[in-house]
Amino acid sequence: MVFSSVFFVIIFLPVLFLFYFLANDKAKNYVLLAFSLIFYGWGGPKYLILMIAMVLTDYLFALGIDFVRPSFQKKILVFLAVFSNLGILGYFKYTNFLVENINGLLDTKWEVKEIILPIGISFFTFQAMSYVIDVYRGDTKVQKNPFYVLLYVSLFPQLVAGPIVRYKTVENEIVNRKTSVDDFAYGLERFILGFAKKIIVSNNVGALADTVFATKTLDTPLAWLGAVAYTLQIYFDFSAYSDMAIGLGRIFGFHFEENFNFPYISQSVTEFWRRWHISLSTWFRDYIYIPLGGNRKGKSRQIFNMFVVWTLTGIWHGAEWNFVLWGFYYFILLMLEKLFLLKVLEKLPRVLRHIYAILTFMIGWVIFRCDSGGIKPCFHYIKTMLSFRFTALGKEQLMVYLHRYGLYLVIGVIFSMPVYYFVKKKCSEFKKNSVLEIGMGVLGYGVLLGLFGISFLYLVNSTYNPFIYFRF
């Protein structure tokens, strides 16, 4: 089940609201848990059983870590917890990839039945592991109620595509939280904004990206158009999901941390990764980079730690060589910035720094996008972008695509910047006048209602509605 579906919007969510807000405080968690399990189980009961089994196993590991006293026993238990989680993740996500590469390297003919990847396993595995590790570190108290641990991991807004929520972030809110009119209003606004970003912008620029990347004979302008379209698609797809997840969480009284902070306004790759997929970046920082030594053991060790983190980041995204290459690509850029490039960038005008950042992450998204046929398509596409190759057919196609999708590209570029929040801030200044404040409030809700209505019409009239990050 996805947020951007007719069934979710007109059936699942209203029925959940009805049961949740009629339930007493003690029953609310169990209503949320039941609907979260239905949400995940919609895609296949056997994967629901797998997810529940993994969570309950981590629950028992955390209880064991809290119970035993000798530190070596705690270390053994946390090692077993991490090993079991990564083992399950590795089996489902990387077995076929390893067998294919071993067969290619050794000319063997091993056969493995195709393994279907459970939706969101990379996200909920990291989330469950972080709970056990935090209990081991003493950063959070062990939760004795298994249903609360299951609710923490399976909570449907962030279950299948993040953000990766730490247990200590919602620890108190699971046990004792209050829902307010302000939280409900903010949550609904955030959900509608995410819904519109997904349906209106991401789906349309995504259709353009798919069309261009599938074209056999590309010229340079068309290749750049495809790169721009995919750059916008992946941002509006994933940030839209995070907006909807954060909004839904707020409606039910949970305050999830932000996952995106307008990454496309960055002026360096380092800044970009402070703004993009923040929950994943901080997860790798806190559970991999810092335990390896971070930047505390000299420059050479820091570079090695960065190499490990970015190799794992690439692999985490998928069992394809392009993701490994994508991780290496960002490791090299971040290493160069760390060594000297940031100092050079600081001396350049702001516009040049911004152009540098845009070009680097656009090329990065091309590498990320070419996830079939090995890494050769990545190099071929990038070569076309840089080759200054122009054709009459390419010009004709370019004009057709710009006519059909130009409006969505412009909207995407504008709203990849904090335009909405700038306008909202300016409108809030009218609060000095009570009449204007009421008028602006009515106008704001009218705009949101209209935006939701337009988005819903787009949804029911379109068959193209992918969510990129579901496969991770």
Digit-coded pLDDT (tens) for 361-378: 999 999 999 866 678 888
Give residue 440's pLDDT band: very low, low, confident or very high (50, 70, 90). Answer: low
Among 84, 69, 65, smallest CA distance to 135 is for 65
Residue 471 has pLDDT above 70, yes or no: no
What tens digit of pLDDT does each residue of 229-259 get? 999 999 999 999 999 999 999 999 999 999 9
- The whole-chain average pLDDT of the chain stands at 91
What tens digit of pLDDT does each residue of 219-232 get? 999 999 999 999 99
Mean pLDDT of 319-338: 94
Question: Out of 255, 317, 354, 380, which one is annotated catalytic?
Answer: 317
- Which amino acid, residue 87? G
Residue 42's pLDDT is 87
Give percent above pLDDT 70 in the chain: 95
Mean pLDDT of 437-445: 70
| Burial of residue 262, with CB atoms counted within 10 A of its CB: 0-12 exposed, 13-18 middle, 19 or more buried | middle
What tens digit of pLDDT does each residue of 81-95 get? 999 999 999 999 999
Domain locations in the chain as residue ranges: 6-177, 184-402
List helix spans (H) across 138-219. Answer: 146-154, 167-175, 181-196, 203-213
CA distance 283 to 268: 21
Residue 446's pLDDT is 87
What tens digit of pLDDT does each residue of 371-415 get? 666 788 888 999 999 998 899 888 999 999 999 999 999 999 999
CA distance 192 to 244: 7
Residue 155 has pLDDT above 70, yes or no: yes
Inter-CA distances, 116 with 43, 67, 95, 113, 471, Å = 12, 37, 11, 9, 10
Instruction: Check if 277 is active-site.
Output: no
Residue 436's pLDDT is 61
CB 254 within 8 A of CB 155: yes
Mean pLDDT of 299-322: 93
Mean pLDDT of 74-78: 95
Among 179, 177, 125, 170, smallest CA distance to 143 is for 170
Residue 432 has pLDDT above 60, yes or no: no
What tens digit of pLDDT does each residue of 21-42 get? 999 988 999 999 999 999 999 8
Range scoring the smallest mean pLDDT among 303-307, 352-356, 430-434: 430-434
3-state SS assignment for residue 234: helix
Residue 434's pLDDT is 62
CB 236 within 8 A of CB 412: yes
CA distance 141 to 135: 6
The beta strands (E) that lie in 388-428 are given as none
CA distance 339 to 310: 17
Residue 439 has pLDDT above 70, yes or no: no
Mean pLDDT of 295-312: 93
pLDDT winner (highest mean) among 159-173, 346-360, 417-431: 346-360
Inter-CA distances, 323 with 230, 310, 329, 367, Å = 16, 10, 10, 7
Residue 472's pLDDT is 62
